[in-house]
Amino acid sequence: MNWAGRAVLITGGRGFLGRPLAAALGARGARVQAVGRAEVDLCDRGATLALFKQRRPELVIHAAVQGGGIGWMREHPVESGRDNALINTHTLEAAQACGARAFVGVSSACAYPRQPATIPFVEEELWDGRPEPFNDSYAQTKRLMMALGDAYHQQHGLPCAFPMLANLYGPGDHLSPERAHVVAALIQRCLAQPEELLVWGTGRATREHLFVEDAVEGVIRCAELALQGEHLGPLNLGTGQEVRIAELAQAVARACGYRGALRFDASKPDGQPRKCLDVRRMKERLGWQAPTSLDEGLARTVAWYRQALAAEAS
């Protein structure tokens, strides 16, 4: 697609995913409007509608989120549910009201049921049970966004795509341990060179990890189809590779050069027992697959964290 001159509004445009998304689309010639908390409180319906009507984007990519790792989710079920429900509904409404041609809402694999019928997760079984209790309120807001997207397409003809991302990691993630996701949290602990590396849970749970630059490319490909009038709905976006938390912790330790012992704290939650995406539909619809291996992605992420933490300490 020729992106030159296309007006794209990205919510969460200065966040972990939004920032590289804005940079990638800007490099392709799009007129990117990166919106963050400084410009608008998306929990405020009136302010959200006013901003979107002023900016008049052709495409809205909704990457704003109120969230964090499993610890933050456990301690903030109200904020992660209430705030994201408001943010998602207001952004969808504003996209339609301002005349946008397409909407891309970044979703998450956490919206899948805790005990799905099939591993890896397939899109058709998204609604077949409650999500993991520790992030249930947050996960339900993702489901709400995707259901509303179907409704806006049905009633107003707005094409929507909802890439359901595997666990993101990479340069630019949180420096705050409270907000950090599992890879970022493990890297920060390893770089502190503790006597032992403490890992939440039993280590038996599995996750799938998606490098942020690969996520950017996948989201852009979803956006291109939506702008061509395709209503993709929920679409898994990941690598399709399932990794035990114990194996992930060992890989992070190697990437950081950490040689201490690993200790698993079974008093902390494992979260979803298994999490892995079926990416066959992604490959078919997008003609693409995520190219970055876990070892390569971890090496690049650790290098970034070394620089970022050194700069913060100076």
Q: Return d(Cα 154, Cα 138) in angstroms, integer.
A: 25
Contact indicator for 70, 135 with CB cutoff of 8 Å: yes
Question: How do strand 7-11 and strand 59-62 relate by DSSP bridges?
Answer: parallel
Dihedral class, residue 6 (left if φ above 0, else alpha if ψ from -120 to 50, else beta): beta
DSSP code for 110: G
Mark whether 305 is an active-site residue.
no
How far the first Cα of the chain sits from its last, in Å, is: 43
Contact indicator for 215, 296 with CB cutoff of 8 Å: no
> 128: how many CB neighbours lie within 10 A of its CB?
13
Closest CA to 277 of 219, 209, 192: 209
| Coil, helix or strand at residue 126 | coil
Quick one: tokens of 174? Answer: 């949180």
Question: How do strand 167-169 and strand 209-211 relate by DSSP bridges?
Answer: parallel
- Catalytic position from the list 138, 152, 258, 305: 138
Q: Return d(Cα 260, Cα 295) in angstroms, integer.
A: 19
Question: How do strand 196-200 and strand 261-265 relate by DSSP bridges?
Answer: parallel
Bridge partner residues of 235 (DSSP): 163
The letter for the amino acid at 289 is: Q
CA distances from 265 to 179, 203, 247, 269 (A): 19, 9, 15, 9
- Active site (catalytic) residues: 138
